[in-house]
A and B are shown apart, each in its own frame.
Chain A
Amino acid sequence: MGGVEDETEPATKRMKLSSGVLRSLANGSSGAGSVPGFSGDLMARPLPIEGDEEILGSKGVIRRVELVRIITKALYSLGYEKSGAHLEEESGIPLHSSVVNLLIQQVLGGQWDEGVATLKKIGLDENIVKSASFLILEQKFLEFLDQDKVMDALKTLRTEITPLSINNARVRELSSSILSPAKFVHVGSSSQSSTRAKSRSKLLEELQMLLPPTVLIPDRRLEHLVEQALILQRDACMFHNSEDKEMSLYKDHQCGRDQIPSRTLQVLQVHNDEVWFLQFSHNGKYLASSSTDRTAIIWEVDPHGELSLKHKLCGHQKPVSSVSWSPDDSQLLTCGVEENVRRWDVSSGKCLSVYEKAGNGFVSCRWFPDGKWMCFGANDKSICMWDLEGKELECWKGQRTLRISDLEVTSDGKQIISICRETAILLLNREAKVERLIEEDQTITSFSLSQDNRYLLVNLLNEEIHLWDIQGEVKLVAKYKGHKRSRFVIRSCFGGLEQAFIASGSEDSQVYIWHRGSGELIEALPGHSGAVNCVAWNPTNSHMLASASDDRTIRIWGLNDLKMKHKGPATHCNGVHYCNGRT
């Protein structure tokens, strides 16, 4: 793909010629300014033959010619024209072959027919030549129209564009544009020369995407490679959990374990019995917990990351199994075990509504993203949709949910997710009326949905947590092991920066944290004195994790080096702040 070489002039002479051509272009003789990122030099020193290429680097995978050309391209892109030209001269490696340079000049200079002819000399695949010719001739056509040369435009369309026999839909659009030019011409009429130049440089970008990278190096290629290297380093970093963690080109990126919330900053002791469920509000300013003591509690997170009791929500006659925040965090749903669902006002703590269904108890609750509808799972295995007034709008009967089941609604409101059988999760598309299944070999105990609605975290009876990709065809992505579960509903969650971690409760009183990508267990946090039933990661603070336990407490975990600012009456022990609800 190196291109045709037929010149034997010395490099210096070629350079003079090229800068002369560039100057004439810049002076407006063809209405096109020089375009950053495209070498203006018609240097025709032959590209080295592939076999002769020198290999650089300890791994033997970098070709010297490629590296030099990419650096040259980067220099031109950064505006260092002289340095770019100097590197071409000194290395003897031209950025582009003379034929490609000629093509660039012809495109910028509006020499369309010559450009099409030059394309054929590069030695490209026939389809690429056709597609590139189409782009060039389309530009020729549009500029003719722009100059009111309708007959020339028509001739170009008939005798040059149409015979290419590609992109017929666009050909029809172009022929329509002859009748109503205003709708189609992208070149513009005011300050024609500059607009045309812009349009031609845009054409060059389009050609660049079409031609092989060996012929025309993609724009910002070096930036892209460096960025890619940094992102790969970040993704491989087990502990990366901070937006402001600066990444440098000077050294390989590596975060320490101190980026993971692993120290108890607060112990919340208000519930009078086991705490079963936790969920942070979407804005991260509140935490809701529910307990066997038949209450739910709304905790407020202050700007320093300290939690205090806001409201204790009483009214349920049975243990409260789960809670759900409204999309705007102004309301909260609480669900009693096979009982009713209650809706609460977050600011006042008042109960706004109680939802009941004759002869049935509810087992799960979720908001729809519009905040006007709710979704409930009932113990007759149905899932129903209700409005705020308590009117049932729709009901999916049959084996839709189990008596102990989680429920999720995707953020577009289209999919309802529920455990429909011991070993299967139902993905119910309520608009398309399509049902998909995630089939497991083991009994499913709970699940949670990622923020981007793409992944589902499934807890199994056999002490495994499975990560499923549910976008398109469902597929198992990863497995996480290490925690203990034999009798209880143990919940896990996504969390951390870009949800890069998986956290889970465990019956051995510890909180487990895995790196989501690698599946590696990175922390097992002791502290609780009973089974940890549920964990929740603050969606707006990647360093805040909460855990709920049978020991009746909620623990707030943060970074090891965090200096907490405490206020109000509280007891301290080893830097842990105990809150008994009176602060």
Chain B
Amino acid sequence: MGRLFVVNLEGKIYSCKHCKTHLGLCEDIVSKSFHSRHGKAYLFNKVVNVFVGKKEERLMMTGMHTVADIFCVGCGSIVGWKYETAHEKSQKYKEGKSVLERFKVSGPDGSNYWASHEAHVGGSDADDV
């Protein structure tokens, strides 16, 4: 397993639901209006303690993007995805940013979010702008 390299965050923290590894800070959220096939998802400026999977082209509601799944370093579970490149000009702001799926993480108050009727099939990343 090796010695995990884990960054410890301070503040209002979103952490992995399974192993409690810190993933992101409330203050780094860019938008809460993203969606995945499991429900809500949040766009973060910066996330920590994740490793990045293979890049692939995905057609999302806002167009074609090059994305890569991101995994928790603590337990290896998939927690969201990272935007490597956005092909449309209006979506360029997402590049380098990451999305955490809300049902995969615990909120700052320890709350969990469960997939509900809000869940979208096919995965979407519609923003609120």
A interface residues (Cβ-Cβ under 8 A, vs B): 274, 276, 292, 319, 321, 402-404, 422, 443, 445, 461, 486-490, 507, 530-531, 533, 550
Residues of A within 8 A of B4 (CB): 487-489
Residue of B nearest to A381 (CB): B8
- Whole-angstrom CA separation of A268 from B61 in the bound complex: 55
Kindly supply a per-residue 1/0 record for chain B positions 67-92, scoring 1 wherever the CB is within 8 Å of any chain A CB and 0 otherwise. 00000010000000000000000000
Residues of A within 8 A of B73 (CB): 486-487
Interface of A is mostly: loop
The reply to whether B8 and A489 form a contact with Cβ atoms under 8 Å apart is: no
- Whole-angstrom CA separation of A531 from B3 in the bound complex: 10
- Whole-angstrom CA separation of A490 from B8 in the bound complex: 18
Q: Which listed residue, A274, A292, A319, A445, touches B5 by the CB 8 Å rule? A: A445
Residues of B within 8 A of A488 (CB): 1-5
Within 8 A of A (CB), among B26-53: 48, 51-52
Residues of A within 8 A of B60 (CB): none
Interface residue total, chain B, C-beta cutoff 8 A: 12
The reply to whether A274 and B8 form a contact with Cβ atoms under 8 Å apart is: no
- Whole-angstrom CA separation of A443 from B6 in the bound complex: 11
Kindly supply a per-residue 1/0 record for chain B positions 1-29, scoring 1 wherever the CB is within 8 Å of any chain A CB and 0 otherwise. 11111111000000000000000000000
- Whole-angstrom CA separation of A486 from B4 in the bound complex: 9
Most chain-B Cβ atoms within 10 A of its Cβ — which of A319, A488, A507?
Answer: A488
- Whole-angstrom CA separation of A276 from B4 in the bound complex: 11
Smallest CB–CB gap between A273 and chain B, Å? Answer: 9
Residues of B within 8 A of A487 (CB): 2, 4-5, 51, 73
The reply to whether B5 and A533 form a contact with Cβ atoms under 8 Å apart is: no
* With A274-B2, A486-B51, A489-B4 already in contact, 14 other A-B pairs whose C-beta atoms are closer than 8 Å: A274-B3, A319-B3, A402-B8, A403-B8, A404-B3, A404-B5, A487-B5, A488-B1, A488-B3, A488-B5, A489-B3, A490-B2, A533-B2, A533-B3
Smallest CB–CB gap between B73 and chain A, Å? Answer: 4
Residues of B within 8 A of A445 (CB): 5
- Whole-angstrom CA separation of A490 from B2 in the bound complex: 9
Residues of B within 8 A of A292 (CB): 3
Residues of A within 8 A of B3 (CB): 274, 276, 292, 319, 321, 404, 488-489, 533
- Whole-angstrom CA separation of A55 from B72 in the bound complex: 67
Number of interchain pairs (Cβ within 8 Å): 45
B interface residues (Cβ-Cβ under 8 A, vs A): 1-8, 48, 51-52, 73
Residues of B within 8 A of A422 (CB): 7, 48
- Whole-angstrom CA separation of A533 from B1 in the bound complex: 10
- Whole-angstrom CA separation of A253 from B91 in the bound complex: 56
Residues of A within 8 A of B8 (CB): 402-403
The reply to whether B7 and A489 form a contact with Cβ atoms under 8 Å apart is: no
Residues of B within 8 A of A533 (CB): 2-3
- Whole-angstrom CA separation of A403 from B3 in the bound complex: 13
- Whole-angstrom CA separation of A329 from B51 in the bound complex: 39
Residue of A nearest to B49 (CB): A487
Closest 5 CB pairs of A and B: A488-B2, A486-B51, A487-B73, A489-B3, A531-B2
- Whole-angstrom CA separation of A319 from B3 in the bound complex: 10
- Whole-angstrom CA separation of A181 from B55 in the bound complex: 82
Residues of A within 8 A of B52 (CB): 486
Residues of B within 8 A of A443 (CB): 7, 48
- Whole-angstrom CA separation of A102 from B48 in the bound complex: 77
Residues of B within 8 A of A531 (CB): 2
Residue of B nearest to A444 (CB): B5
The reply to whether B2 and A550 form a contact with Cβ atoms under 8 Å apart is: yes
Smallest CB–CB gap between B104 and chain A, Å? Answer: 17
Smallest CB–CB gap between B36 and chain A, Å? Answer: 22
The reply to whether A507 and B2 form a contact with Cβ atoms under 8 Å apart is: yes
Smallest CB–CB gap between A380 and chain B, Å? Answer: 12
- Whole-angstrom CA separation of A507 from B73 in the bound complex: 13
- Whole-angstrom CA separation of A487 from B4 in the bound complex: 6
- Whole-angstrom CA separation of A486 from B48 in the bound complex: 12
Smallest CB–CB gap between A516 and chain B, Å? Answer: 24
Most chain-A Cβ atoms within 10 A of its Cβ — which of B3, B7, B48, B52?
Answer: B3
- Whole-angstrom CA separation of A530 from B2 in the bound complex: 9
- Whole-angstrom CA separation of A461 from B46 in the bound complex: 14
- Whole-angstrom CA separation of A80 from B74 in the bound complex: 75
- Whole-angstrom CA separation of A487 from B70 in the bound complex: 12
The reply to whether A550 and B5 form a contact with Cβ atoms under 8 Å apart is: no
Smallest CB–CB gap between B45 and chain A, Å? Answer: 14
- Whole-angstrom CA separation of A240 from B84 in the bound complex: 41
Smallest CB–CB gap between B50 and chain A, Å? Answer: 9
Smallest CB–CB gap between B5 and chain A, Å? Answer: 5
Most chain-A Cβ atoms within 10 A of its Cβ — which of B1, B48, B73?
Answer: B1
Smallest CB–CB gap between A500 and chain B, Å? Answer: 28
- Whole-angstrom CA separation of A530 from B3 in the bound complex: 12
- Whole-angstrom CA separation of A292 from B2 in the bound complex: 9
- Whole-angstrom CA separation of A276 from B51 in the bound complex: 20
Residues of B within 8 A of A402 (CB): 7-8
- Whole-angstrom CA separation of A66 from B16 in the bound complex: 73
Residue of B nearest to A531 (CB): B2
Q: Please, could you name 30 A-B residue pairs with CB atoms under 8 Å apart, sorted by A?
A: A274-B3, A276-B2, A276-B3, A292-B3, A319-B3, A402-B7, A403-B8, A404-B5, A404-B6, A422-B7, A422-B48, A443-B7, A443-B48, A445-B5, A461-B5, A486-B51, A487-B5, A487-B73, A488-B1, A488-B3, A488-B4, A489-B2, A489-B3, A489-B5, A507-B2, A530-B2, A531-B2, A533-B2, A533-B3, A550-B1
Residue of A nearest to B74 (CB): A487
- Whole-angstrom CA separation of A276 from B1 in the bound complex: 10
Residues of A within 8 A of B7 (CB): 402, 422, 443
The reply to whether A274 and B51 form a contact with Cβ atoms under 8 Å apart is: no
- Whole-angstrom CA separation of A215 from B7 in the bound complex: 64
- Whole-angstrom CA separation of A550 from B73 in the bound complex: 16
The reply to whether B1 and A274 form a contact with Cβ atoms under 8 Å apart is: yes
Most chain-B Cβ atoms within 10 A of its Cβ — which of A402, A404, A533?
Answer: A404
- Whole-angstrom CA separation of A422 from B2 in the bound complex: 20
Smallest CB–CB gap between B7 and chain A, Å? Answer: 6
Residues of A within 8 A of B2 (CB): 274, 276, 487-490, 507, 530-531, 533, 550
- Whole-angstrom CA separation of A402 from B73 in the bound complex: 18
Smallest CB–CB gap between A424 and chain B, Å? Answer: 13
Residue of B nearest to A445 (CB): B5
Smallest CB–CB gap between B60 and chain A, Å? Answer: 25
Residues of A within 8 A of B51 (CB): 486-487
- Whole-angstrom CA separation of A490 from B7 in the bound complex: 15
